[in-house]
Amino acid sequence: MGRDRSRSRSPYRYNGDHSRSNSPERDILREGWRAVRDDPHDFDGWCRLLQIVEQLDQTKPAREAYDEFLKRFPFCYGYWRKFAEFEKRHKHYEKCLNVYEAGLQAIPLSVDLWLAYIGYVKEIAEGQRQATVKIRDTYMRALSSCGLDFRSDKLWEEYIDWEIQKREYEKAAALFDVILSTPTMGYAGHFERYKNFVNSMEPDKVLSAGEYDEITDIVYKKIKHELEGPMFFIEEFEEEVPSEEYNNVEFQKRTVRQRKHVDSALKEFREEILDRRHRKFMENEREVATRWTYESQIKRPYFHVKPLERVQLKNWYDYLEFEVGEKKRKRIITLFERCMISCAMYDEMWIKYAVYLDSTNDVESARDVFKRAIDPHCSRKPGIHLAYSLFEEKHGDVEAARSILTDFARRHPNYAAIELRKLSLDRRELQRNKETDFSIVVSKYEKLIYDESLSRRVSSFYAVKLARFHLKIRHDRRLAEKIIRDAIARDKKNCQLYLQLVDIAYSSSHMRESEILEVLDFAIDSPLTPEERFQFSQRKLDFLEELSSDVAKLQEHYVDHMKLEKELEAPPTTSLLGKRLASKDETLDAKKLKPDFSMPPPNIPVQIPAQMLPGGIPVAGAIPQGYAGFGAVPAVYNTNMPPPTMIPNLQNPPPIAANPNFYYGGNPSAEAANMVPVQSNVNIPLA
């Protein structure tokens, strides 16, 4: 009992530490587990661990390693197959079947995994009752899951060949009718195979009863003057077929009666059948051509932990936009699922998928997409959690929205975008309930501002947000100003705080010149750098020039401004005085007009770099992409291409929106990193 209680509670419990064996293999296994325990996101480490358990060839360590790996990387179809083959090799046939089923639930669009599973079903069904029915049902499940995939040709061909082998010609013909209308990479090859199929069969075997009667009338009108007897006669013979009553390896004889058409009728039948299917083929070829531009640019249709090239992301984005525009829901869903395999690590693609489903009022499916995204693919990315939270809030489940943010903040603390969204969620809930007491929101802001674990710059960032809240929501300009001045007392060299102070002064509905000049002088006399103080001096000069009626103040400040300019190492031009501007017929030297961007003009939001707030606090988007390695690569099937005249020209696309929350509007990352923009205008000094 003591041994049981002492076991590790880690999800990676099996690491060889409890084994009494000190064999080299066990030592290697311990090292393998230690590597993934230290860095659970190390794909290469997991691959090494799986190699170790394969070489060790023992059931328990292999199962534990595969289970943990596939929880983290469920789109690695090659490892599902390896896991199933491992169980089969150890004669755990039921477990092998369960592994295949779990893999197909995780990645139902994997044609290769379906084919491997079907092959295994054929093996275990051999000799059983209703084997043919079981295999056919499995094929139909596969087509239902991935039959619309552009690269699903191999599955279609194998299923059709199997039906022909079983002499189920009508079923094979029905499958041909479907694939001839389905845009796939091997569309041309399917039509060639269909022509061979039709030319080798009697017409009644490849047509439905209704279509056969319809074509019979057409053919009879064409050849009735040539006929010397009936269009066909009945042929009777015996053949051996598999016995479903006992097992499908034993055969029994049966009498077969079939039609044998005369040559003239047979020729007309086949021409009419192929003419009809050719029209269907040409329509399908047009569908293929519209997609070929996108398909030909997909270089990585499988899952990989390494980042995709930007052009690949853009191609997926454009392809999805195209398919959504076609308004065929099944094809749209299929393409989204394909995209998720290739782009699993990109939360913006998951968001796009969920937003599409939400737009069709399929709320539960959209929620399922969000859940799949955050566990396990984008578990460390704030963007998808922000979008998921917004989705739940939109649909009225505020507690679920709050829980999503709280859980992420507990696992990954100090994301400014998450903290701000939590505060916004509280504020909106109060506003929906028509509450006027925002003390809960204010107290949470203050807790962040005075959190000693945060740097002064981050504390100032939250102070600016609280000041904006008081200014814009509570319309308390004095309190907003006090919050900024208190923040300046703690962070005297933060230029952004002085900018917000100026913005508050400008925001008054009735301009008070004395207040604006006071805050500008406060900034000019502050411990800011000479360049920053000079910019505030320039703003004061512009204000006096444009809006003040006191010439004496303008003259006095101009002298002071010149003194500040001399303190700079590379003094810029302070005003347009003494400079002649170019007329509309003249061109100034670009170097002479180069603006000074040492400090952004006040009407532009001042940004802290999006990947990291000062003090080392990460914000949305700052997720490392340090993955390496990859799963097994599926075979790319078929090389058919549409006629060159039908391949659309490739256009140069605009840049993809890389913002994780782009599709919901707004940018939490930028919002979390931007200080309050100053609304007044200012001239950029000429150099």
Residue with tokens 């578990």: 379
Q: Across 284-363, where does the E strand assignment appear?
A: none
CA dist., res. 241 & res. 253, Å (int): 6
pLDDT recorded at residue 25: 84
Provide the pLDDT confidence category of residue 244 given band limits of 50, 70 and 90.
low
Residue with the bigger pLDDT between 153 and 252: it is: 153
Evaluate whether residue 411 is within a structural domain.
no
Q: Which tens digit of pLDDT belongs to each residue from 614-666?
A: 333 333 333 333 333 333 333 333 334 444 334 344 333 333 333 333 333 33
In a domain, 568, yes or no: yes
Mean pLDDT of the chain: 83
Phi–psi pair at 258, nearest 5 degrees: -140, 160
Residue 639 in any domain: the answer is no
The pLDDT of 404-412, averaged and rounded, is: 97
Q: Of the ranges 19-23, 301-305, 541-545, which one carries the lowest mean pLDDT score?
A: 19-23
- Alpha-carbon span 320 to 653, nearest angstrom: 13
- pLDDT at position 127, please? 79
- The predicted pLDDT at position 513 comes to 92
Token digits of residue 226: 């040539």
Report whether pLDDT(468) > 90. yes
Is residue 293 exposed (0-12), middle (13-18) or buried (19+ Cβ within 10 Å)? middle
What whole-number percentage of the chain has pLDDT above 70? 78
Task: Tell me the average pLDDT across 156-180.
Answer: 96
**How many helices and strands in the chain, by DSSP H and E?**
29, 4
- Rounded to 5 degrees, what are φ and ψ at 100? -60, -45
Quote the pLDDT of residue 251: 65
User: What distance in Å separates the CA atoms of residue 540 and residue 284, rounded to the nearest whole number?
Assistant: 69
Domain region containing 556: 460-575+590-620+670-687
Within a domain: 550: yes
- The SS3 assignment for 227 reads coil
CA distance 333 to 368: 13
**Residue where the block lists tokens 């995204």:** 373
Element (H or E) spanning 356, and its range? helix 347-359
3-class DSSP state of 238 = strand
Tokens describing residue 607 = 């940004």
Q: Stretch 12-32: mean pLDDT, rounded?
A: 67
Contacts of 297 (CB under 8 A, 6+ apart): 311, 312, 315, 650
245's CB contacts (< 8 A; 6+ apart) are 129
Within a domain: 493: yes
* Rounded Cα gap, residues 478 and 470, in angstroms: 9
8 Å CB contact between 76 and 46: no
677/538: higher pLDDT: 538
167 burial type by CB count under 10 A (0-12 exposed, 13-18 middle, 19+ buried): middle
- For residues 582-588, average pLDDT: 44
At 677, give phi and psi (nearest 5°). Answer: -70, 140
CB atoms within 10 A of CB 455: 15
- The pairing of strands 247-261 and 617-618 is unpaired
Is 599 among the domain residues?
yes
Residue 330 pLDDT exceeds 70: yes
- How far apart, in Å, do the first and last CA atoms of the chain sit? 80
Q: Which pLDDT score is estimated for 601?
A: 37
613: three-class secondary structure by DSSP: strand
Got the DSSP string for 507-526? T-SS--HHHHHHHHHHHHTS
Nearest one of 515, 447, 448, 444 to 477, comparing CA atoms:
515
Say whether pLDDT at 13 is over 70: no
Question: Is residue 403 domain-resident?
Answer: no
- Determine the pLDDT at residue 687: 28
pLDDT at residue 126, rounded to an integer: 83
Q: Residue 649's pLDDT is what? A: 40
Q: What is the DSSP string of 453-465?
A: TS-HHHHHHHHHH
Helix (H, G, I), strand (E, B) or coil at 471: helix
Asked if 497 and 486 count as a contact pair (C-beta separation under 8 A), the reply is no
Higher pLDDT, 584 or 542: 542
Residue with tokens 């002298």: 559
Rounded to whole angstroms, the Cα distance separating 105 from 488 reads: 56
* Per-residue pLDDT tens over the stretch 190-237: 999 999 999 999 999 999 999 999 999 999 999 988 888 888 888 877
Q: How many structural domains compose the chain?
A: 1
Per-position DSSP letters for 55-81, written without gaps between them: HHT-HHHHHHHHHHHHHH-TT-HHHHH
Alpha helices in 57-168 (DSSP H): 59-72, 77-89, 93-106, 111-125, 131-146, 153-165
Arithmetic mean of pLDDT, 430-453 = 96
Q: What is the mean pLDDT of residues 300-322?
A: 96
| Cα atoms in the Cβ-side hemisphere of radius 13 Å centred on 593 | 7
Residue 644: asked if its preceding bond is cis (omega within 30°), the reply is no
The answer for residues whose C-beta is within 8 angstroms of residue 422's C-beta and 6 or more apart is 402, 405, 406, 409, 444
Element (H, E) at 236: strand 232-243
Of 49 and 24, the structure prediction assigns the larger pLDDT to 49
Residue 471 within any structural domain of the chain = yes
Query: What mean pLDDT do residues 273-297 have?
Result: 97
- Helix or strand run (H / E) with residue 259: strand 247-261
Q: Which residue has the higher pLDDT, 162 or 20?
A: 162
349-367 per-position pLDDT tens digit: 999 999 999 999 999 999 9
pLDDT at 228: 82
pTM for the full predicted model: 0.79
User: Per-residue pLDDT averaged across 449-473, rounded?
Assistant: 96
pLDDT of residue 23: 77
Residue 682, both tokens: 């200012």
Checking if the pLDDT of 419 tops 70, the result is yes
> Which has the closest alpha carbon to 278: 180, 374, 205?
180
183: nearest Cα among 393, 63, 334:
334
**From CA 261, how far away is CA 186, in angstroms rounded?**
32
Taking phi first (over 0 means left), then psi (-120 to 50 degrees means alpha), and beta for anything else, what does residue 665 get? left
pLDDT recorded at residue 511:
83
In percent, how much of the chain has pLDDT > 90?
Answer: 71
